A and B are shown apart, each in its own frame.
Chain A
Amino acid sequence: MPMHTQSWESVGPSLDECIKCNICTSYCPVAEVTDKFHGPKYSGPQAQRFRENGQPQSPDHSVDYCSGCRVCNEVCPTGVRIAEINARARAQAAAEHGIPLRNRLLGRSDMLGKLGMIAPGLANWGMRQGFARSIAEGVLGISKHAQMPTWSREGTFASWLKRSAPNRLRSERKVVYYHGCSTMYYEPYVGKAAMAVFEHNGFEVVVPEQGCCGLPLLNNAEFPAAEKYHHHNLEWLTPYARQGYQIVGTSTSCTLTLKEEAPDMLDIHTPEARDLALAVWDIFEWLRELHAQGQMKTDFQPIDMVLPYHPPCQYRAHHIGSPVMDILPLIPGLDVRESHARCCGGAGTYVYKKEKYQIAMDVGQELFTWVDEQRPVTMTACTSETCRWHIESATKLPCRHPIEVLAAAYGLYDLEKRKLTKE
């Protein structure tokens, strides 16, 4: 599958926007801390003029160190799709040189999720054992320092949905919930908090058949598999989109993938892909819209706390401003402070890679230092799960999804124990 320009809608031709101004490289958090990555301008629009189908070999090595944070896209004054150009270059190199086993594993978060759920206690225990982690590092290249997510001890989100089916709100107003792999296998409580918020606001939640968005596969350059995943989601979800449902997700990376990253990186510009993208919302984007229409309930209980909140780079890549900051400050007593750090460094599966772990930690230092400056605090918040795990590991503070905070403000959720109050 050729990775280069297939149409004028492909991201490759956006290199024409580049005026070589160097703003992207100046703000790239990875280029700042390592010289293994020569900056988004070099790897992106500049190198793209030297790439084409059918060359004797893919010339790219350094592009592998791009973390995909998309800060470059954000600061670019002309609209070059730098991060996507890099991702496609990486996929081209992978298609020629092969993908290491480690990256194939890390790319399959749904498979890893299912595997761990066979015996979650054991899996969690194993992930904490130094010897096991050292072997994983030596054999596969998975960093022994990176904090692994914890498989749920209360079953999957799907199993909870089944168990709690009789309690679900029925309503004329419906919304589709896209939960993503992390909610399913690692953090079903985030899904529960989201459901509580939807229902409190009078919406019946439909959770249709859905699959992994494929972002880890995209980030690990395994495009053919990612394309299959996206086609499945198109099959399952586009009908809902076309019936007028809003498809709302709590994982900001997943919703970004469905909206833009899958179509753009895979060069899928079909009417189905467009219709689905138009129906996808990040949950706080959706809540903000609801609030703007005067329909969001604001019967909050006070939460007296300083809450450092980090908007992940992928959240900003939605180009929706900062909806969390439009909603959370409505909660009385809550002093939400927004981080302006560029990237926590985790960058999805990036931090799990031995050769990239230290880069991830160095990139995140900007955020970790800022969190320190907000202390004393009891927890932080962030809308992306992999970021949460990385931030927890670096700051030693619990990190919550803002939807959990909102559910707690509605009195429906225990923020410490991460349980619904009525459970």
Chain B
Amino acid sequence: MSDLFVIGAGLSGLMAAYTAARAGLRVQVVTKGLGSMHWAAGTVDVMGYTPEELSRPVQRPLEAIQALAHSHPEHPYVLLGSHQVQVALEEFTALMAELGLPYGGAGGFGALAHSTSGDNLLLPSAVGALRPAFLAPSAQLAGDMARPEPLLIVGFTGLRDFYPELIAENLAKQGFQARAAFLPLSLLTEQADRNNVHLAQALDLQARRLKLGGELKRLARAGERIGLPALLGLDDHAAALADLSAAAGAPIFEIPTLPPSVPGMRLYKALRARLWRMGVRIDVGLEGIGANVIAANGTAGRVQWVETATTTSRPLKHRAKAYLLATGGILGGGFDSDHTGRIWETVFDLPLTIPQARHQWFRPAFMDPAGHPVFNGGVAVNAAMQPVGADGQVLYANLWAAGGALAGADPIQQHSLEGLAIATGWAAGQAIVRALAQ
């Protein structure tokens, strides 16, 4: 029997697992498949746009969190308070530095620890828009548009997931000096365009990246920084980045594009490796399908075990002292819905703050600045990340929740996906450690 049983191996689940394991708890993580890190940009977005001001990017996300307290008391950041969010982010940056995949912010590395006025980075996206992000892996940092250097965006002919001219043109429209160039795809692979991950693996070979670096050097003008699609190595990324920058003789940065996300996969693999070394079990392919609970009866109920599906529908029972739901809401598969407008949480059937009626879910415009209500609701929790009922009472004494499943925020609209995952995952881990110590 483990101390902590985590359902979901996304960023929030892994962050909670790390926090708990570091405190000496025995942790098991199960997941149906792999998580949305594999689709996202690989940055840590804390708050890009606030619910009040959806057209202008937030400049200082930790301050913006403080301002949320009045208008959005149910927002998970408000439940935690900006100080806890900051501590969680510091834990994350420390961990990533240790893992050899350092993340930094607008002030460079390490600036976060000493300031709540950390600015957002503005990084060029694969269409040439400016994405606000609070932390970015070192491979993306040189793209910060607050830097003065002009940009050379380099793509590869026939690479389907990256269009340098589009990026350069849109950056230029926003007043930046940017131009585009192409190199042959054969620098990456002799085969046709495949999958971003396979192309990234091609650059795990030093000979290839030195050659590429040489070509970049030929293309670049003095003073330019070079933007490339995010495929600069997978398992040998740090060396790939170093080799390329040296050979190119210019600062290099990656631009994340369509899934699969190579930066996201690097993050996942680094976290996973760390957790393995800490003795955390991660069982991929185990889908949480239900739980046996003692219902609340005046006081909080208790989860007795969680069931995961096996091949024979002879479900596996997992018992633990504490359980964490980190199944990712609609995107992660933690919520399901049908045509009647019923929407439900798939493991514990926790109540959701999403209206049970499809006519309250959507707005007419896909890009409506206010987002779609269906994506804003979820599992309501208290400040200790425990799911609560409508009356605010804890539902199960040994159950916590974190990440995309939580109510009170639309992390995609607000560009707060990783920030919420890290902060709520860390906070849930801390709360579980405290609870089990008693």
Give yes or no for direct A-B contact (beta carbon below 8 Å): yes
Residue of B nearest to A36 (CB): B191
Q: Is there an interface contact between B38 and A79, defined as CB atoms closer than 8 Å?
A: no
Q: How far is the CB of B305 from chain A (nearest CB, A)?
A: 12
Residues in chain B near residue A66, CB distance under 8 A: none
Chain A 29-51 interface mask (CB, 8 Å, partner B; 1/0): 00110010011000000000000
- The yes or no answer to B310 lying at the interface (CB within 8 A) is yes
- The yes or no answer to A260 lying at the interface (CB within 8 A) is yes
Residue of B nearest to A256 (CB): B311
- The yes or no answer to A1 lying at the interface (CB within 8 A) is no
Known contacts being A23-B38, A26-B260, A259-B312, is A319 close to B194, with CB within 8 Å?
no
Residues in chain B near residue A212, CB distance under 8 A: none
Residues in chain A near residue B191, CB distance under 8 A: 35
Residue of B nearest to A338 (CB): B276
**Bound complex: CA A26 to CA B265 (Å):** 9
Indicate which residue in B33, B192, B194, B311 contacts A259 across the interface (CB closer than 8 Å). Answer: B311
**Interface residues contributed by chain B, number (CB under 8 Å):** 35
Chain A 295-324 interface mask (CB, 8 Å, partner B; 1/0): 000000000000000000000111111100
Within residues 324 to 341 of chain A, which ones have a CB less than 8 A from any CB in chain B?
325, 340
Q: Is there an interface contact between B197 and A320, defined as CB atoms closer than 8 Å?
A: no
**Bound complex: CA A277 to CA B310 (Å):** 11
Q: Is there an interface contact between A26 and B316, defined as CB atoms closer than 8 Å?
A: no
- The yes or no answer to B63 lying at the interface (CB within 8 A) is no
Residue of B nearest to A261 (CB): B311
- The yes or no answer to A266 lying at the interface (CB within 8 A) is no
Q: Is there an interface contact between A340 and B283, defined as CB atoms closer than 8 Å?
A: no
Interface of B is mostly: loop
Q: How far is the CB of B148 from chain A (nearest CB, A)?
A: 36
Chain B 174-204 interface mask (CB, 8 Å, partner A; 1/0): 0000000000000000011011111001000
- The yes or no answer to B113 lying at the interface (CB within 8 A) is no
- The yes or no answer to A64 lying at the interface (CB within 8 A) is no
Q: Is there an interface contact between B312 and A74, defined as CB atoms closer than 8 Å?
A: no
- The yes or no answer to B313 lying at the interface (CB within 8 A) is yes
**Bound complex: CA A27 to CA B272 (Å):** 14
Q: Is there an interface contact between A318 and B311, defined as CB atoms closer than 8 Å?
A: yes
Known contacts being A23-B34, A26-B197, A32-B198, is A260 close to B284, with CB within 8 Å?
no
- The yes or no answer to A148 lying at the interface (CB within 8 A) is no
**Interface residues contributed by chain A, number (CB under 8 Å):** 33
CB < 8 Å A-B pair total: 93
- The yes or no answer to A421 lying at the interface (CB within 8 A) is no
Known contacts being A78-B33, A278-B313, is A319 close to B286, with CB within 8 Å?
yes
**Bound complex: CA A78 to CA B39 (Å):** 14
- The yes or no answer to A75 lying at the interface (CB within 8 A) is yes
Known contacts being A77-B332, A77-B333, A319-B308, is A27 close to B34, with CB within 8 Å?
yes
Q: Is there an interface contact between B39 and A21, defined as CB atoms closer than 8 Å?
A: yes
Residues in chain B near residue A226, CB distance under 8 A: none
Q: How far is the CB of B316 from chain A (nearest CB, A)?
A: 6
Within residues 242 to 270 of chain B, which ones have a CB less than 8 A from any CB in chain A?
259-260, 265
- The yes or no answer to A196 lying at the interface (CB within 8 A) is no
Q: How far is the CB of A328 from chain B (nearest CB, A)?
A: 14
Residues in chain A near residue B333, CB distance under 8 A: 77-78
Residues in chain A near residue B284, CB distance under 8 A: 74-75, 316
Residue of B nearest to A73 (CB): B285
Q: How far is the CB of B264 from chain A (nearest CB, A)?
A: 10
Within residues 230 to 278 of chain A, which ones have a CB less than 8 A from any CB in chain B?
256, 259-260, 277-278
Smallest CB-CB A-B distances: 6 pairs: A77-B33, A260-B311, A74-B285, A26-B197, A35-B191, A22-B260
B residues with CB within 8 A of A: 30, 32-35, 38-39, 191-192, 194-198, 201, 259-260, 265, 276, 281, 283-287, 308-314, 316, 332-333
Of the A-B pairs whose beta carbons lie under 8 Å apart in the complex, a sample of 14, sorted by A's number, is A21-B38, A22-B259, A23-B260, A25-B197, A26-B195, A26-B260, A75-B285, A76-B33, A77-B34, A256-B311, A280-B312, A316-B284, A320-B316, A322-B283
